[in-house]
Amino acid sequence: MNWDWDYVGSMMPDLLDGLWTALLATIFGFLLALVLGLVFAILRRSKTAWIRVPIGFIVEFIRGTPLLVQLFFLFFVLPDFGVQLSPLASGIVGLGVHYATYTSEVYRAGIDGVPAGQWEAATALNLPARRTWTSVVLPQAVPRSLPALSNYLIALFKDVPQLVAITVAEPFTVARGIFADSFRPFEAITMAGVLYLVTAFVLSYLGRIVERRYGTVRV
């Protein structure tokens, strides 16, 4: 099997388009995971059992089922209930919600790491619950969570190829289309893999910069 550079060159524009799609799915999926995970983490600490218990159940349910099943559900089942999302939107929601259950655990650990004395001082100053979260607890909990969160960014990115199942044109979906025509999977699959590898490196480097910049906790 010879490696054909011309063939590689001809497929690169399509693969790079695919990479752009994968990045969109990653960025928006991860943003959703960051926000929703925080919401889960806070609601699971609610004093109200009516909030705490159902949220706990939902989180465990999502975490306990495969991403692929969730993607199928979002893309093929939800339309039956009148919710029609584009492939990319389904992918973003699927990745975001799935990873939110992981990030919520990361936040939980970060929140647990805030000493009881901090909550007590907030009570002694009569800070409202919302202010206690936003100005005392989360500014201490989130920096602690950054290393684990940036790992999940990479993990989420590497789960993007699962979106092939719902026809999102990420690099592997594109590669599959290319070798379906040319019958040469070697270059197409390899190059898609290389794009993922390089991008994962870049993302983990960026993650480390963010950790270094914002991950320090003053104690």
Partner 1 sequence: MEGTKEPMTEATSAAPVRAHDGNGEFIKFAEVSKRFGSNVVLDDLSFSVGAGERVTLIGPSGSGKTTILRMLMTLLRPDSGTISVNGEYLFHEERGGQLVTASESHIRRVRSKITMVFQQFNLFPNMRVLRNVTEAPVHVLGKPKDEAAERAKELLALVGLGEKLDAYPSQLSGGQQQRVAIARALAVDPDVLLLDEVTSALDPELAAEVLDVLRDIAKTTDVTMLLVTHAMKFARDVSHRVLMFNQGKIIEDRPPEEMFNEPRHERTQSFLRSVIDET
Q: Which of residues 16-45 bind partner 1 (CB under 8 A)?
A: 42-43, 45
Number of residues engaging partner 1 in binding (CB under 8 A): 28
Contact 99, 33 (CB under 8 A): yes
Nearer to partner 1, 66 or 139 (CB): 139
Q: Which of residues 40-79 bind partner 1 (CB under 8 A)?
A: 42-43, 45-47
User: Can you tell me which of 123, 180, 202, 209 binds partner 1, judged by CB under 8 A?
Assistant: 123
Contact 128, 59 (CB under 8 A): no
Q: How far is CA 198 from CA 5, 26, 28, 123, 203, in A?
A: 19, 15, 20, 48, 9
Nearer to partner 1, 155 or 212 (CB): 212
Give, in degrees to the nearest 5, the angle at Cα 28 between 23 and 34: 125
Under the criterion CB under 8 A, does residue 219 sit at the interface with partner 1? yes
Under the criterion CB under 8 A, does residue 82 sit at the interface with partner 1? no
Q: What are the backbone dihedrals phi and psi of residue 183, each rounded to the nearest 5 degrees, phi first?
A: 60, 25
Under the criterion CB under 8 A, does residue 131 sit at the interface with partner 1? yes
Under the criterion CB under 8 A, does residue 128 sit at the interface with partner 1? yes
Tell me how far, at minimum, the Cβ of 140 lies from partner 1, in Å.
5
Q: How far is CA 183 from CA 169, 177, 180, 188, 210, in A?
A: 19, 10, 6, 10, 43
Under the criterion CB under 8 A, does residue 127 sit at the interface with partner 1? yes
The C-alpha atoms of residue 185 and residue 87 are separated, in whole angstroms, by: 24
Under the criterion CB under 8 A, does residue 130 sit at the interface with partner 1? yes
Tell me how far, at minimum, the Cβ of 124 lies from partner 1, in Å.
4
The C-alpha atoms of residue 188 and residue 193 are separated, in whole angstroms, by: 9
**Residues near partner 1, by CB under 8 A:** 42-43, 45-47, 115, 117-118, 120-121, 123-133, 135-136, 139-140, 217-219
